[in-house]
Structure 1
Amino acid sequence: MLVLRALGLRALSALAALLVGLPAAAAADKAALFGIELAEPGTIGPRPLKPQDAKRLALASEALRREVVARGLDPVDLGPQAAAIRRDAPLYKCEGCAETIAKAAGAALVVYGYVQRSAPQVLNLTITITEAESGKVLRGGQVVIQGDTDDTWLHGVRSLVKNRLFAEPLPNRS
């Protein structure tokens, strides 16, 4: 117990990072947490969101934020980057713009994701964590959401965070 007090908060963050598989520096650094976006294959240009999709994207984004913060990452304020985020959206296919925005906001890590509708009741949720400086993917995963409800979207986010983003690496798979 005395040893833990002597380590200090920063060292404990580094230790926690080692336990969850992220680089030690990452846990002590800030993260840019972008909202989850909707990917609609076959559409050209932005399309207004259906109200239920907008609601579920907001719920899923907030759930992702809570889950990531609960695991020790410290979110940066992306408010000053709002114009760049709007300009470069969708971030999941802008090839490095999320990392550029994150660096401008003072973040070391980037967390972003998207939902793609495969069928009316089948969706794919993908979330990625990258290094802002290099763009290197640190963790990522995908989960199939069966059922287009608030609960299934939230379950998908929690499952992906727990089992892929912050799970220990699988032997011979990482």
Structure 2
Amino acid sequence: MKRLRIFLLPLIMSALLFQVPLAQNAGAGEAPRLAFLGLRLQNDNESLEPTSDAERNRIGAIERQFTTSLEASGSYAVVPLTDDIRAKIASGQFVGSCGGCEAAFGKELKADRVAWITVQKVSNLILNMNLYIADPATDKLTFLKSVDIRGNTDESWSRSLKYLLDNYFYDQKS
């Protein structure tokens, strides 16, 4: 009996060790494809408080945080935007108010979902972050959540996105 245990223990351990990476790779291949169309800052008081360089930098940081978080979670495989799609986004109406361009971009990129974020700046004290996810096949929103931000800092923006993802997004299927 003791010989059997000595023989089986390394066999079982090696089987467990080799199964974990295989299971992770299999799950990653099945992750739905998501095209992230970017973040737009809606500054309600642009004439009084123009958008700052710090806010422009926050936009890039939040975009990176969003895609990195999604990929790390295994929830989605993030589809890179093509130069053509980037040019269309830059030259057209804002994503989210473009009459369905989001679905068209998603179809062109062969994505299962499209996502975009808006941050509404009412003042330097009151901001709001919204995450939208839509199904390109139906042109319907599958997820929409919002969090309020108090304070216009790198930390407040980053924590708001983390809260939104951890408390709303990862808890449901979109």
User: Shorter-chain TM-score: what band?
Assistant: 0.7 to 0.9
Say yes or no: does 1:76 pair with 2:79.
yes
The residue number in structure 2 matching 1:142 is 146
Residue type at the aligned position of 1:68 = L
State the superposition RMSD in angstroms. 2.8
**1:97 aligns to 2:97 (yes or no):** no
Corresponding position of 2:67: 65
Deviations for 1:137-162, whole angstroms, at most 9, x for unmatched residues? 22221000101100000000111011
Q: Structure 1's 76 and 168: CA in aligned 2 closer, same or farther, altered over 3 A?
A: closer
Superposition pairs of residues 24-173 of structure 1, within 5 angstroms: 28-41=31-44, 49-72=51-74, 73-80=76-83, 81-168=85-172
- For the 8 Å contact 1:139–1:164, the answer to whether it is kept is no
Shift of 1:93: 1.6
- SS of equivalent to 1:119: coil
TM-score (norm 2): 0.75
Q: Which amino acid aligns with 2:156?
A: T
Secondary structure of the equivalent of 2:117?
A: strand
Q: Report the counterpart of residue 8 of structure 2 in structure 1.
A: none
CA displacement at 1:29 relative to structure 2: 2.7
Misfit runs of 4+, over 6 Å:
none
User: What is the rounded CA distance, in whole Å, between the counterparts of 1:160 and 1:125 in structure 2?
Assistant: 9
The alpha carbon displacement at 1:105 in A equals: 1.4
AA matched with 2:67: R
- Match of 1:164, as an amino acid? Y
Cα distance in 2, alignment partners of residues 38 and 63 from structure 1 = 16
**Structure 1, unpaired ranges of 5+:** 15-26
Which structure has the larger Rg over C-alpha atoms?
2
Whether the aligned pair in 2 keeps the contact of 1:31 and 1:74 (CA below 8 Å) is yes
- Percentage of pairs with the same residue: 24
Q: TM-score, normalised by structure 1?
A: 0.75
User: Matches of 2:121 and 2:77 in 1, distance apart?
Assistant: 30
List alignment gaps of at least 5 residues for structure 2. 1-14
Q: How many corresponding residue pairs?
A: 152
Determine if contact 1:35/1:61 at 8 Å carries over to the other structure: yes
Whether the aligned pair in 2 keeps the contact of 1:60 and 1:154 (CA below 8 Å) is yes
Deviation track 1:81-104 (CA, whole Å, cap 9, x = no partner) reads: 111111224202213111211211
